[in-house]
Chains A and B, each alone.
Chain A
């Protein structure tokens, strides 16, 4: 392995260990400010936990009632990924 690659691996390992230490100190040492900054004009729609089987149905109804714009965009992403796979996997005419 070349010298650059070895230094790169050592630096990457060091960064990862440092990131792990920082993240675990963050999550255990400092309390996460859960929902501290909720704006007052937000009236939240929450789903009760009790009948467990209902959570999926109510979540998907929330999705269709409120996020139709993102679902439209997501449909176009799926079309784009089909065209991408076509472009990568089609046999071109001859080899350039």
Chain B
């Protein structure tokens, strides 16, 4: 039985780290790393909640996480292919050089 509060606080912290990495960094690959941090935080929340019955582990949450990891891996792969196309156009992957990308 793992205590729940520390893990929930670290999930919240990882969300904040991921969101600020997404908004502050100027390199496109680092923005995608921020998205990946967000996905990992959400999966950690699932695993933390699966251990709450004393002495047992719920395999339902583990199956969800195994499938969610594959799904977000594909999204990041397509994002990296887009970054390659941006490099072909602009010869840089600095997001501040893109003309209309206003957050």
Hey, which bits of chain A sit against chain B, CB under 8 A?
A: 4-5, 8-9, 12-13, 16, 19-20, 23-24, 27-28, 32, 34-35, 44-49, 55, 58-60, 62-63, 66-67, 70-71, 74, 77-78, 80-81, 84-85, 88-89
Q: Number of B interface residues at 8 Å Cβ cutoff, please give it.
A: 37
Q: Would you call B81 and A46 a contact (CB within 8 A)?
A: no
**What residues of A have a CB within 8 angstroms of the CB of B58 in the complex?**
44, 46-47
**Nearest Cβ on chain A to B101's Cβ, whole angstroms:** 10
Interface residues of B in 9-44 (CB under 8 A from A): 9, 11-13, 15-16, 19-20, 23
Q: How far is the CA of A38 from the CA of B100 in the complex (A)?
A: 49
**Nearest Cβ on chain A to B96's Cβ, whole angstroms:** 9
Dominant SS at the B interface? Answer: helix
Q: How far is the CA of A19 from the CA of B52 in the complex (A)?
A: 25
Most chain A beta carbons < 10 A, residue from B8, B16, B19, B60? B60
Q: How far is the CA of A46 from the CA of B67 in the complex (A)?
A: 19
A70-B67 contact in complex given A19-B16, A81-B74, A88-B82, C-beta closer than 8 Å: yes
